[in-house]
Structure 1
Amino acid sequence: MKILLPNAKELNTRIDNHPFQSLSSESQAVLAVMEAMTVQELAAFYKLKPEKAELEENRWHRIQTQQAKTYPAWQLYDGLMYRYMKRRDLSESEIDYLQDKVLIATGFYGLISPFELISPHRLDFQGSLKIGQQSLKQFWRKKYDALLADDDLILSLLSSEFEQVFSPSVQKRMIRIVFMESVAGKLQVHSTISKKGRGRLLSKLAEENCSNLEEVKNLCFDGFSYCSDLNQESTVVFLRNKF
């Protein structure tokens, strides 16, 4: 069983840091492309104002010169989903669970453990980036697929942009988790509830040491519970009634 998470744009560097960590050959190839961009090119790539792009240029330069500090990935990422996870005072069992079953999808480091030490950077799969003759998704696909080759259950908490890095055959094996609210009898899905739900679900999975789909479906948290009426073959829906 593997649980897939996306990275996040929001970063928190106000935590304990570690020295620079050596990069894989794949990460070095991505770095070479990012480091070669001018501030203007980075601004266009990220869709940022030039002054904001200067921060990203500095981050890539610090990685290139091995001056960048590193942080555990799931502590550095600080988007809404991550903020709704239990990230402090974990038991040994919870740590072992996260280490064994959770992978974070990134565009720079590949598919990594939540505890892997990484440097602050910004890169997802939305922009148009070529590594040689390949798109960033194509570049990482073989490595991404290989890490899931032996897993019979893949829970996806990813958005479509991250799922598309995997080959279609792997995507077909994924069970997608959806969070919905019933408001005055009308079903609603929106990103804030989904991000919060994903974070809380991950913590609940670790707390309960879930290892199969039936155990996942039995979870209840923050008013959410599995809704069999909305279930589909490759989708598990958690529903919360809001009055």
Structure 2
Amino acid sequence: MRIIISPAKKMKTDNDSFTHSQLPQFLDKTSELLEHLKTLTYDELKNIWKASDNITAVNHERIQKMNLQKNLTPAILSYEGIQYQYMAPNVLEKEQYTYLEKHLRILSGFYGMLKPFDGVTPYRLEMQAKLKHATYPSVYAFWGDQLAKQILDETDTIINLASEEYSKTITKYNDQAQIIRCKFGELINGKVKEKGTMVKMARGEMVRFMAENQVQTPEKLKDFNHSDFAFSDDHSTESEYVFIKG
């Protein structure tokens, strides 16, 4: 079984908590991406990133100085988004880290796919971005089916806690694995409504729940009850597990 999650835009460098265990599997491809990004102008990068001048300036400088093999942070500690805050990786125990290293995969526009203790450096590149590349017009085109092939070689069961932007790098090419999407929402007028921040919080808590309980089968996900969520058999299907708050 594998769990897929999205990255976060905001990142940090943390060399004090833990050291990374290995370099990312697709580092050669990341190097190729980096070399291409270095050839682009400030304005071209700003358009790719769809960012403010302040954010563009910071990341433009990062691109010029980036070293993919030095001053690295374990991926699970590098991302600072809401999902990662609620995952609370800094307070997990050793057996929980071991579980996540085996089961968790972080999808990334820049790195492709990461294990929690792969060493990474802060970057900015979303999966849906355009690339201004003669061969690969987009990040999706750059990665193609490589990420799906890798994870489908590892497992036949995938728990999807990623956004559509990232998860479709797997789902688009799947013809063999059981993929279960977890949906978190509130019941409003008989319909399950998802809200962005709440969903990100719940996804992080689900990852932590799986690590704390060493979950090995999809059936055990139904016991998830963090933040007043409960599994709804009435709203769920074999491919989508629905958790309703309240």
Aligned to 1:44: 47
- Between stretches 35-44 and 162-171, larger displacement belongs to 162-171
Question: Compared with structure 1, are the counterparts of its residues 27 and 59 closer, same or farther at alpha carbon in structure 2 (3 Å cutoff)?
Answer: same
Aligned to 2:112: 110
Residue type at the aligned position of 1:13: T
Instruction: Give structure 2 stretches of 5+ with no counterpart.
Output: none
Q: CA deviation at 1:183?
A: 5.5
Q: Please list, as runs of the form range in 1=range in 2, the aligned pairs for 1:171-210 lying within 5 A after superposition.
A: 173-182=178-187, 187-210=192-215
Q: Aligned partners of 2:183 and 2:171: how far apart in 1?
A: 21
Q: CA deviation at 1:86?
A: 2.3
Q: CA deviation at 1:45?
A: 1.5
Aligned to 1:60: 63
Q: CA deviation at 1:11?
A: 1.5
CA contact (8 A) 1:80 1:196 kept: yes
In the superposition, the TM-score normalised over structure 2's length comes to 0.87
Aligned to 1:32: 35
Q: CA deviation at 1:173?
A: 3.6
CA contact (8 A) 2:49 2:126 kept: no
Residue type at the aligned position of 1:126: Q
CA contact (8 A) 2:6 2:161 kept: yes
Q: Do structure 1's residue 224 and structure 2's residue 229 form an aligned pair?
A: yes
3-state secondary structure, aligned to 2:60: helix
Q: Aligned partners of 2:231 and 2:216: how far apart in 1?
A: 16
Q: Aligned partners of 1:196 and 1:11: how far apart in 2?
A: 17
Question: Compared with structure 1, are the counterparts of its residues 67 and 100 closer, same or farther at alpha carbon in structure 2 (3 Å cutoff)?
Answer: closer
CA contact (8 A) 1:138 1:165 kept: no
Aligned to 1:211: 216
Aligned to 1:233: 238
Q: Do structure 1's residue 152 and structure 2's residue 156 form an aligned pair?
A: yes
Q: CA deviation at 1:96?
A: 1.0
Residue type at the aligned position of 1:229: D
Q: Aligned partners of 2:152 and 2:69: how far apart in 1?
A: 35
Q: Do structure 1's residue 138 and structure 2's residue 141 form an aligned pair?
A: yes
**Equivalent in 78, 81, 95 of residue 76 of structure 1:** 78
CA contact (8 A) 1:29 1:131 kept: no
Q: Aligned partners of 1:130 and 1:211: how far apart in 2?
A: 42
3-state secondary structure, aligned to 2:106: strand
Q: Aligned partners of 1:156 and 1:67: how far apart in 2?
A: 30
Aligned to 1:96: 98
Aligned to 2:11: 11
Q: CA deviation at 1:12?
A: 2.7
Instruction: Give structure 1 stretches of 5+ with no counterpart.
Output: none
* Shift >4 Å, 4+ stretches: 183-186
